[in-house]
Amino acid sequence: MSNAVVRKTLISLAVAGAATLAQADVVIGVAGPHTGAYAAFGEQLWKGAEKAAQDINAAGGINGEMITLVKADDACEPKQAVSVANRLVDSDGALAVVGHFCSSSSIPASKIYEEAGVIMVTPASTNPTLTDQGLPNVFRVCGRDDQQGDVAASYIVDKLGAKRVAVIHDKDTYGKGLADAMKSTLNAYGVNEVMYEGLTRGEKDFNALITKIRSVDADVVYFGGLHSEAGPLVRQLREQGSKAIFISGDGIVSDEFVSVAGSPEYVDGVLMTFGAPPTSYPSGAKVIKEFRDAGYEPEGYTLYSYTAMQVAVAALANNNLDPIKGAEWLKTHSVDTVMGKKDFDEKGDLTVSDYVMYEWDAQGKYSVVE
C-alpha cells in the first residue's frame, strides 16, 4: 500500500471518529518564501494566514477544533518546496495548506498534496499550469497569468499606443509564463516585440541587457519576474537615460520593490497589474482596521492569504474535517471572505478575475490607474 493511500485512509478514519472523539488541533501549513530574497512575500502570506487563524480560533475554531499553523519555508525553490510539502503531510499532519507563493514551487508541491488528500489554496501562484493539471484539491484565490497578461497587453496597445516593446523575463515558471502570456496577446493585437530575452534570478548588474534595450529603441519594457530583479533593472534603466515605460506584474507588489530600486524616484511611473485593491472590500474593513491598529499595513498578498485561509477552513468546516470532500464542496459552494464572495470552477480557478493596472509614484506608493 502506497504512502498516499495510507494517509488518505488515516484521514478517513480520523474523520469518522471526529463526532465522538476529541481531536488534536487542525494543522494548516503556510508555505512560501519565509527566508531569502523573496521573504517579503512570505511575510505577507504569514501575516494574513496568522491573523485569519487567530480570528477563526477566537470564534470557536473549526467545529470546536483550534487551528495550529506550521510555517513551511520553500525559499521559492522547487526542490525545497517538494521537501517542505512532504514534511507538512508526513510529519506535521496538515489537512490543508495556504501556499505556495511562487508558481515554480506550487506546481511540484501540488502533486504531493494531491497524493496525500490535502487541500491546497494558493494566495499568489498565477501560472495557468497549476490548475490546468486537473488536480481535484488545488485552488487559487488570485487570477491567472493569461488573464493578467491580457490586461497588460491591452493597456500597452490601447492606452499607451506603444509599438516598440521589449519583453524581459527571469526564466522562472512565473516570470517567463507571465511574459509569454502578455507577448501572446500583444502579438494577437498585431504588435511584435522588438526584443525578447531572459535574465537570471539573483543578478544585479544589468548593464549589458540595458545596452541591448536601448539599441532597439524600446518605448516600453515589460518585465515578467519579481521585485528583487525588477528594482535594480528599472534603476539602471533610468541611470542610463532610458525613458521607456516600465511595466510588470503582481510580482512587484511589495514595498521591497522601492527598497531594492534604491529610491522612490526610480519607481515613479512604473506600471503593474494586480487584482482590484484588496483593501477596498467592505467585508474586510474590520480586519484591515485591526491590522493597521496593530501597526501593520496589509499590503500585497496579505489579504489574499487571509482569504485563502477562509476558503480552506470553510471546506473543512462544512465537511467534518475531510479535505477530500471539502475540495469537492468548494467546486459548488461560495465562500464569504474579507475580499468578497469567492466561487471556483472545476479547475479550482476563480470564476471572476479582477486584474487592473496600478502606477507607482515618487513617494514609493502605488494606486489604481484611473
| CA-to-CA separations, 234 to 121, 257, 288, in angstroms, rounded | 32, 10, 31
CATH code of the domain covering residue 334: 3.40.50.2300
Cell numbers placing 136:
481535484
Q: Residue 234 domain-assigned?
A: yes
Task: Indicate whether 288 pLDDT > 90.
Answer: yes
pLDDT at residue 206 in the model: 97
Q: Residue 72: beta bridge partners?
A: 31
Q: Residue 156 domain-assigned?
A: yes
Q: Residue 89 domain-assigned?
A: yes
Cα-atom radius of gyration of the chain, to the nearest Å?
21
Q: Residue 287 domain-assigned?
A: no
pLDDT mean across residues, the chain = 94
Query: Do 195 and 322 lie in a common domain?
Result: no
H or E stretch covering 355: strand 355-360
Query: Do 126 and 161 lie in a common domain?
Result: no
Q: How far is 313 from 323, CA to CA, in rounded Å?
A: 10
Task: Indicate whether 183 pLDDT > 80.
Answer: yes
Confidence band for 370, pLDDT divided at 50, 70 and 90: confident
Query: Do 260 and 364 lie in a common domain?
Result: yes
Question: What is the 8-class DSSP label of residue 156?
Answer: I
Q: Rounded mean pLDDT of 318-340? A: 98
Q: How far is 129 from 119, CA to CA, in rounded Å?
A: 17
Q: Rounded mean pLDDT of 48-71? A: 98
Whole domain around residue 168: which residue ranges?
A: 146-276+355-368
**Number of helices (H) and strands (E), helices first, in the chain?**
14, 14
Q: Residue 8 domain-assigned?
A: no
The dihedral sign for the CA sequence 324, 326, 327, 331: positive
Cell numbers placing 180:
509569454
pLDDT at residue 24 in the model: 67
Query: Do 113 and 43 lie in a common domain?
Result: yes
Q: Rounded mean pLDDT of 15-29? A: 61
Task: Indicate whether 2 pLDDT > 90.
Answer: no
pLDDT at residue 8 in the model: 54
Q: Rounded mean pLDDT of 100-110? A: 98
Task: Indicate whether 5 pLDDT > 50.
Answer: no
Residue for grid cell 508555505: 31
**In the chain, which residue ranges form alpha helices assigned H by DSSP?**
3-17, 39-58, 78-90, 103-116, 129-132, 145-154, 173-188, 207-215, 227-239, 256-261, 264-267, 285-293, 302-317, 323-330
H or E stretch covering 361: none
Task: Indicate whether 16 pLDDT > 50.
Answer: no
Cell numbers placing 122:
494558493
Query: Do 77 and 192 lie in a common domain?
Result: no
Query: Do 188 and 53 lie in a common domain?
Result: no
pLDDT, tens only, 216-240: 999 999 999 999 999 999 999 999 9
Give 334's contacts (C-beta < 8 A, 6+ positions apart).
341, 342, 343
Phi/psi for 205 (5° steps) reads -105, 110
Q: Residue 4 domain-assigned?
A: no
Percent of the chain with pLDDT over 70: 94
| Closest to 152 in 3D by CA, of 370, 366, 356 | 356
Query: Do 160 and 246 lie in a common domain?
Result: yes
Structural domains counted in the chain: 2
Query: Do 34 and 135 lie in a common domain?
Result: yes
Q: Rounded mean pLDDT of 184-206? A: 96
Percent of the chain with pLDDT over 90: 93
Cell numbers placing 147:
488573464
Q: Residue 284 domain-assigned?
A: no
Task: Indicate whether 189 pLDDT > 70.
Answer: yes
| CA-to-CA separations, 45 to 101, 102, 297, 302, 320, in angstroms, rounded | 8, 12, 13, 6, 26
Query: Do 97 and 232 lie in a common domain?
Result: no
Q: Which of 9-13, 247-251, 327-331 has the lowest mean pLDDT?
A: 9-13
Task: Indicate whether 102 pLDDT > 50.
Answer: yes
Query: Do 57 and 91 lie in a common domain?
Result: yes
The residue among 1 and 90 whose pLDDT is bigger is 90
Query: Do 225 and 360 lie in a common domain?
Result: yes
Q: Rounded mean pLDDT of 305-309? A: 98
Task: Indicate whether 286 pLDDT > 50.
Answer: yes
Q: Residue 199 domain-assigned?
A: yes
Confidence band for 56, pLDDT divided at 50, 70 and 90: very high
Task: Indicate whether 3 pLDDT > 60.
Answer: no
Task: Indicate whether 129 pLDDT > 80.
Answer: yes
Query: Do 28 and 134 lie in a common domain?
Result: yes
